[in-house]
Structure 1
Amino acid sequence: MNANQKTSLNFFNHLCTDNTPFILRRDGQLPQWQDATLHQSMYEQNPEFYALLAVVETVQPWQQARILFQLLQSSRVGMSADQRCLLNRVTAFLLAILAPDSVLTIFLALKRVRSNHKHTTKAILNYILNHPELADLASSRRPALVDSLEHALGKNVVRACAKMFTQPETEESQTYLRRHLLRFARDPEWVKLIFPLLYKQGTPQTSNGNYKLAHTQYTEKLKGEKLRLKTVTATNRGDISATLVHLYRGGKSPELEQSLDYYVEESVRQLPIFTGKMALVLDASASTRSYGEREFSTLSQSVALQLVLKKCCRNLQVYTVGGSGFPPVPQGHTDLALALLDALESQPDLVAIVSDGYENYYPGDLERVVEALPRCGVETPVVFCHSKFTPADNLTLRRPVPNLPQLEFWHQEDFETVLLSLFSRVNSQEAQTCLQQFLLQKLDQIEKELALWTVIN
């Protein structure tokens, strides 16, 4: 696997884990972001896929800000109308869900790098002139707004518009204002009232900070129900695992099995599809049973992920460790190393190990096997997926292979991120196409549910 392929495989994980600020200092220097080359490389490979990664729930806010900066600073010469439309849609999404102060930082960074394409100008003007808290924004961040507007339209144009607002209306001035400024505003009369204050000396600051909350109406909806749980129980971590817990504790019944099939089908409709070959090592050893209120909980969530993967992967092979039957009854030792070797023998595109993290059979054996794989010429991606009871579970003693990529899940809503992270590690155009189609559908759904105010009509 060459360096470019490794970069592509690691990019998704980078977006979800690195939240280093995008730094713009007051000394006039260019913006500082250490992963600039990485973002630029991924954008050049596939601008549409790069942009759509921003809609993934777990992508860090400052990484979303970087994507916004990359989309606005890059030229779109040679792109088709459909490509331009998609990039504009993602731009509108990012402008709506990012904190306003972060958006203004990006606008000022665009001025530093002297990037002023047509789509850049439209994005800046649409955001500022139609902001739901324009008055508060203008009072709190007046210098930043002035710099952003003057960069978008030109200093002479913006100052001429501000001057015309304070003078008696003429047909010539109104034509000028509509052509250069007001055509971007949904409420021109409101802009006429606020805009002159940006250049009026001695204007008192009357802000209350409400502009900082403009994005929260969207971010709260995107967080999902699982983050609002005050108490985690065995049956409120998703319908699939809850039904499995009932099956484990109360025995099989046609009603529960029918409900299980229904919940799996409903979940799969909102998840990505993988057309390659995947191997799943499922830990159903005795330790996965747990005890007390957690009894069967982590195993139920692991089996829930297995059921979902069966529907999302056309070619999935499962290697169960310990337990047998369905749902597998937890028993026996945790020999993950042998199961991994069996899985690799089938030459899959990807191997996922789903476990509670307790290795009680030849401890350290799995780590030694994983370390030996590259020396044997095995380049198949192997990912360790931790099944947890709550998001706060301590995994310090539950990492049998620290050098393997690690994923964590405790709620059914985590499945989307887990599947995206798994499938993104497969280096094939077919896998990337499947992910791109899913993310496009996700963007469609977000636009319908959230009604973003930043959408350019």
Structure 2
Amino acid sequence: MDTPTLLAHLQTRGEALSLPRGGTLCWDDADFHRAAYTAGPERYALLGLAPGVRPWQRARVLLQVLAASHAGLDDTTRATLARTARVLTLALPPAHVVTVLLGLRRLRANHKHTTRTALRFVLEHPGADALIAARRPALVDCFEHALGKATARGCARRVAEGDTGSDYLQRRLLRFLTAPDLALPRVRALYATAEPTTAEPTTGTDRDAGAADPVHRGDPAEDPCAALGRHLNAAVPPCHRFEGALTLVLDTGTPAPGHDGHSGAPPQAAALRTALAETCAHLEVIEIGGAPAPRVAADLATAVLDALAAAPDLVAVVPGGHEDHHPGDLARIIAALPHTGVTTPVVFCHPAPGGHDPAPPHPAPPHPAPPRRGLPNHDDLAGLLPWMLGHCDAGAPWLRAALHARLDALDRQADRLLGVLPA
């Protein structure tokens, strides 16, 4: 599966996971996520951290990473998956993570990395005390699925009797944890209000019903994970330079429908040009339609041919209100490119009124249409750049380096959140 297809899915699909009473996990795009993971586990996990990914899609990435076996993966990939899972369990709304862990229970999926992640969420999350108080039955289910019901209850019984480090606890529970002194009192709290053998079962729907998460409710300053969540969702500009060559074809003379009718590039297009100038080591800009008396419509066909003549790694087109001066010219050019040996990818970014409407302007694009996305506001451009540059081979090392740097930054913030001292 190619990177742009995966990113477009992660950034546009926002449906929630659900656990109906007595039914199976409702995961409408499970096959898509499994295929994306199989194609490249490390790339898949890192793209789950990309700017602009929807929260429920991040939850699906967490679910897939935890549900899949890591057998056969190299140590570097395993470490990346583990770090990504830790960041997501801390940064996502706790209700999303609880749904993921209960979903794993429904799927009967359990591995060592699943057990470790579940136990650390239930017992070491900075908001664990509030979560246990608010959603004890759900967390008991997560705890018992992670260890197995008999083992979990055996550990709880020994902890209640004062055991803090026996060989039994060490082999079955403590080896998965990083802060036993915090975790053991929370094991007692999980079983404090009812005996494990008489705990009433509840469904995922019951557990996820209600208002905001107990940890993500109220003043964000009181939420120890809110800052990490905001950092994860923030459109942080990439700090790495794209070393390939990119040509931007920019229509500065024909306003798209819904704009103010004046010539000149819309604000989103100007912001994209600035962002590309900061990111790309080799950027060429071809402006069209900006003469003192601009044409009725921009001649994009000629501009695209001029851009392709230099054989850049990628051509990005930001049209105005029309696709071409002579209807059909651009369509014929796009259709003919593969037959002429031109392999340079061409992508379209359409400005939309307010920068929020992803739908393309009228008229329809040429057929076969090149990849295309709506052009977002300045604050959301960081989510567009990975999609754009992911279309060319030169973008792969840039994207991997940028997402690894993002993971490193989130991981350091998670360390501070959990009080982990630097090595």
TM-score where L is the length of structure 1: 0.73
- Asked whether the equivalents of residues 269 and 318 of structure 2 are also in contact (C-alpha less than 8 Å), the reply is yes
Aligned residues: percent identity?
A: 31
- The equivalent of 2:354 in structure 1 is 390
- Asked whether the equivalents of residues 22 and 32 of structure 1 are also in contact (C-alpha less than 8 Å), the reply is yes
In structure 2, list runs of 5 or more residues that go unmatched: 201-206, 218-222
- The equivalent of 1:239 in structure 2 is none
Aligned counterpart for 1:439 among listed residues 394, 403, 422: 403
Secondary structure of the structure 1 residue equivalent to 2:215: helix
1:282 is aligned to 2:250: yes
- The equivalent of 1:219 in structure 2 is 229
Distance apart, 1:454 and its partner CA? 6.6
Q: Write the mapping of 1:38-437 to structure 2, written as runs, cut at 5 A.
A: 38-167=32-161, 169=162, 174-182=166-174, 184=177, 185-188=180-183, 190-197=185-192, 199-200=194-195, 210-213=214-217, 215-224=225-234, 270-285=238-253, 287=255, 298-299=265-266, 301-323=268-290, 331-333=294-296, 334-355=298-319, 357-359=320-322, 362=325, 364-365=327-328, 368-369=331-332, 372-373=335-336, 376=339, 380-387=344-351, 390-392=354-356, 397=361, 400-401=364-365, 403-426=369-392, 428=393, 430-437=394-401
Q: Deviations over 1:386-414 (max 9, x none)?
A: 34573457967556528553333454333
In structure 1, list runs of 5 or more residues that go unmatched: 227-266
Counterpart Cα distance in 2 of 1:454 and 1:39: 30
- Asked whether the equivalents of residues 92 and 452 of structure 1 are also in contact (C-alpha less than 8 Å), the reply is no
Q: Deviations over 1:167-205 (max 9, x none)?
A: 4x368x8553354335524514532541322643589x9
Counterpart Cα distance in 1 of 2:323 and 2:146: 62
Secondary structure of the structure 2 residue equivalent to 1:96: helix
TM-score where L is the length of structure 2: 0.78
Q: Deviations over 1:188-237 (max 9, x none)?
A: 4532541322643589x9x995235465443334444x9xxxxxxxxxxx
Counterpart Cα distance in 2 of 1:452 and 1:297: 46
Counterpart Cα distance in 2 of 1:109 and 1:360: 46
Secondary structure of the structure 1 residue equivalent to 2:17: coil
Task: Give the 3 Å change call, closer, same or farther, for CA 286–43 of structure 1 in structure 2.
Answer: closer
Task: Give the 3 Å change call, closer, same or farther, for CA 441–351 of structure 1 in structure 2.
Answer: same
Task: Give the 3 Å change call, closer, same or farther, for CA 38–223 of structure 1 in structure 2.
Answer: closer
Task: Give the 3 Å change call, closer, same or farther, for CA 131–347 of structure 1 in structure 2.
Answer: same
Residue 129 of structure 1 aligns to which amino acid in structure 2? Answer: L
Residue 399 of structure 2 aligns to which amino acid in structure 1? Answer: L
- Asked whether the equivalents of residues 271 and 438 of structure 1 are also in contact (C-alpha less than 8 Å), the reply is yes
Residue 353 of structure 1 aligns to which amino acid in structure 2? Answer: V
- The equivalent of 1:251 in structure 2 is none
Counterpart Cα distance in 1 of 2:6 and 2:323: 34
Counterpart Cα distance in 1 of 2:283 and 2:163: 71
Larger deviation, residues 181-190 vs 63-72? 181-190
Residue 301 of structure 2 aligns to which amino acid in structure 1? Answer: A
Counterpart Cα distance in 1 of 2:269 and 2:126: 44
- Asked whether the equivalents of residues 276 and 431 of structure 1 are also in contact (C-alpha less than 8 Å), the reply is yes
Larger deviation, residues 11-20 vs 310-319? 310-319
Counterpart Cα distance in 2 of 1:361 and 1:166: 75
Distance apart, 1:38 and its partner CA? 2.7
Q: Number of aligned residue pairs: give it.
A: 396
Counterpart Cα distance in 1 of 2:136 and 2:293: 63
Secondary structure of the structure 2 residue equivalent to 1:279: strand
Distance apart, 1:380 and its partner CA? 4.4
Task: Give the 3 Å change call, closer, same or farther, for CA 449–134 of structure 1 in structure 2.
Answer: closer
Counterpart Cα distance in 2 of 1:433 and 1:20: 31
Distance apart, 1:302 and its partner CA? 2.7
Counterpart Cα distance in 1 of 2:133 and 2:316: 52
Residue 338 of structure 1 aligns to which amino acid in structure 2? Answer: T
Secondary structure of the structure 2 residue equivalent to 1:438: helix
- The equivalent of 2:220 in structure 1 is none
Distance apart, 1:103 and its partner CA? 1.2
Instruction: Note the aligned Cα RMSD (angstroms).
Output: 3.8
Distance apart, 1:91 and its partner CA? 0.6
Distance apart, 1:338 and its partner CA? 2.5
